[in-house]
Amino acid sequence: MHRRRLRPAIVALALIAGLLAPGVATAPPAAATPSGGKKVIANLFEWNWPSVASECNSTLGPKGYGFVQVSPPQEHVRGNQWWVAYQPVSYRIESRKGTRAQFKSMVDTCHAAGVKVIVDAVINHMSGQDNGGTGWAGSTYQHHVYPGIYQSQDFHYCGRNGNNDIANYNDRYEVQNCELVNLSDLKTESDYVRSRLAAYLNDLLSLGVDGFRLDASKHMPAADIANIRSRLNRSAYIVQEVIYGAGEPITPNEYTGNGDVHEFRYGKDLARVFRSERLAYLRNFGEGWGHLPSGVSSVFVDNHDTQRDDGGVLTYRDRGIYALANAFMLAWPYGSPTVMSSYTFSSRDAGPPSDGNNKTRNTVCYSGWECEHRWPVIANMVGFRNATEGAAVSNWYDNGNNHIAFSRTGRGFITINDEGSAINGRSYYTGLPAGRYCDVIHGTFTNGTCSGPVVTVDANGWFAANIPAHDAIALHQNARLP
């Protein structure tokens, strides 16, 4: 949780018409990258638990998503804004997204569909309400008093800026001991606080959760997170929210010993390239751009914060160019990718579609919910990612501008044309075995058949094609026709 010039995004007709359809124990082993062969995460932001369960069965499992990230499940302050979920009142699994029983049922259903569950866990702070109140599930609280959980001695009071708030991000002490936008800052160096936070995370592990996105990690010393992680009852995937700031003393690299770290520069750089620079520059994208090492980097085109607070990233509103950027992310072997799934919003604070009591409604895709993870370009490229996992990049081609192509050696091939006009009459070397392949940008491969164009790769690994402006072709070994 945190607070250029554009080239016109002319979208290919194909993308519009068909592809954007509506006591401290020994530390458990680190899970620094998502485990298993399916590593793509779908962030179903603010979906309720029955809807997440249904989506695991209908889409996430069948499409090959390895993980679903769900929004904070604990009791929170009342209100209809999205950020109320990031203001804990207690650690009861009872929120506007559903009950404890519904949460447990969701986890079990997702597991049965082959999808693991990551929880967005808020452990840096409690609420930001000066006058206190009553939480979603009826717990009473004050800004620095949470009966049965925390009392005033469990919080930081940095004594700065007249209100204990962070003002100077160049001051390490202030960032980690003052309050983030008035949110009561937990004393994570305290043994009691650490044990209480670990108890919350262990409760979620007892419900079957597979990992945690640790919100606001930058506001906690990495050693505090390491201590809390050491108290977990079993291994869990960990990804930490640490936003890079040029020249700031707290850097994402400090946290890589605990698990993955969000690479916020990725989405901003990718957006800038797609909007106003050249795709040819992406040849060494990732570590070659000064980003975190691939093995500990969690990447995304946008997330729930950046799509609201950072005009530099691509979002669902960019439609075709957003789909292409996600296709590149899923094709390029850097970091662990997360696909954002949003609801439609026009104001920064707007919460998800809700009833009159602010309870989140069941998700209906393309009706108040954007469901980018279902867009055929994005959903089909999850299969590309799975099919090419571990394969190196080879056969890079670029025209010096906005037409690129590359192979994932022996397993997949993609070419993206983000020029303002079609690229016609070219042949492409894929390095793939000869055969007929489903173009998964424009078609879905199911039971040996393709719903879209079929590309024939010859005995020497080549195919010929015309590619419209702002469009692409992608082939992979698991979408080869008999």
> How many other C-beta atoms can be found within 10 angstroms of the C-beta atom of residue 101?
11
pLDDT at position 34: 79
**Per-residue pLDDT tens digits for 340-393:** 999 999 999 999 999 999 999 999 999 999 999 999 999 999 999 999 999 999
> Which pLDDT belongs to residue 99?
98
Higher-confidence residue of 30 and 451: namely 451
pLDDT at 122 over 80: yes
User: What pLDDT does residue 242 have?
Assistant: 98
Number of other residues whose CB lies within 10 A of the CB of residue 241: 23
* Residues 33 and 260: beta-carbon distance below 8 Å: yes
What's residue 159's pLDDT? 92
Cα gap 74→91, rounded to integer Å = 5
Q: Do residues 186 and 126 lie in contact, with contact meaning Cβ atoms separated by under 8 Å?
A: yes
Domains of the chain (ranges; CATH) run 13-388 (3.20.20.80), 393-479 (2.60.40.1180)
Q: For the stretch 200-217, what's the b/e string if a residue is b when 16 or more beta carbons lie within 10 angstroms of its beta carbon?
A: bbbbbbebebbbbbbbbb
- E-strand ranges in 270-325 read 297-299
- Does residue 11 register a pLDDT over 80? no
Quick check: 12 pLDDT over 60? no
If pLDDT is split at 50, 70 and 90, which confidence band does 118 have? very high
Q: Which amino acid is at 96?
A: R
Mean pLDDT, range 57-77, rounded to an integer? 98
pLDDT tens for 227-281 read 999 999 999 999 999 999 999 999 999 999 999 999 999 999 999 999 999 999 9
Element (H, E) at 405: strand 403-408
pLDDT tens readout for residues 406-423: 999 999 999 999 999 999
Instruction: Check whether 188 has a pLDDT greater than 90.
Output: yes
CB-count exposure of residue 481 (10 Å: 0-12, 13-18, 19+): middle
6 pLDDT more than 60: no
What pLDDT, on a 0 to 100 scale, did the predictor assign at position 13? 37
Instruction: Give residue 318's pLDDT band: very low, low, confident or very high (50, 70, 90).
Output: very high
Summarised one tens digit per residue, pLDDT across range 426-462 is 999 999 999 999 999 999 999 999 999 999 999 999 9
Tell me which residues are annotated as active site: 215, 241
- Average pLDDT in the 52-68 region? 98
Amino acid 33: pLDDT:
64
What pLDDT band is residue 309 in, cutting at 50, 70 and 90?
Answer: confident
Q: Is this model's pTM higher than 0.85 or not?
A: yes
Rg for the chain, CA atoms, rounded: 23
Q: Residue 144 — very low, low, confident or very high, per pLDDT cuts 50/70/90?
A: very high
With pLDDT > 90 as the criterion, what percentage of the chain qualifies?
91
Cβ distance 263 to 298 under 8 Å? yes
Q: Residue 350: how many CA atoms within 13 Å on its side-chain side?
A: 13
What is the per-residue pLDDT for 310? 67
Confidence check: pLDDT of 222 > 60? yes
When mean pLDDT is compared across 171-175, 266-270, 309-313, 360-364, the lowest value belongs to: 309-313
Average pLDDT over residues 333-338: 98
* Res 28: pLDDT: 53
Interatomic CA distance for residues 97 and 74, integer angstroms: 10
DSSP string over 80-124: SSGGGGGSBS---S-BTTB-HHHHHHHHHHHHHTT-EEEEEE--S
Q: What is the pLDDT of residue 260?
A: 98
pLDDT given at position 9: 36
Are 413 and 406 spatial neighbours (Cβ–Cβ below 8 Å)? yes
d(CA 415, CA 345): 32
3-state secondary structure of 135: coil
Residues 357 and 299: their CA atoms lie apart, in Å, by 35
Q: Rounded to the nearest 5°, which phi and psi values hold at 169?
A: -75, -5
Q: Across all residues in the chain, what is the average pLDDT?
A: 94
Residue 32 has pLDDT above 60, yes or no: no
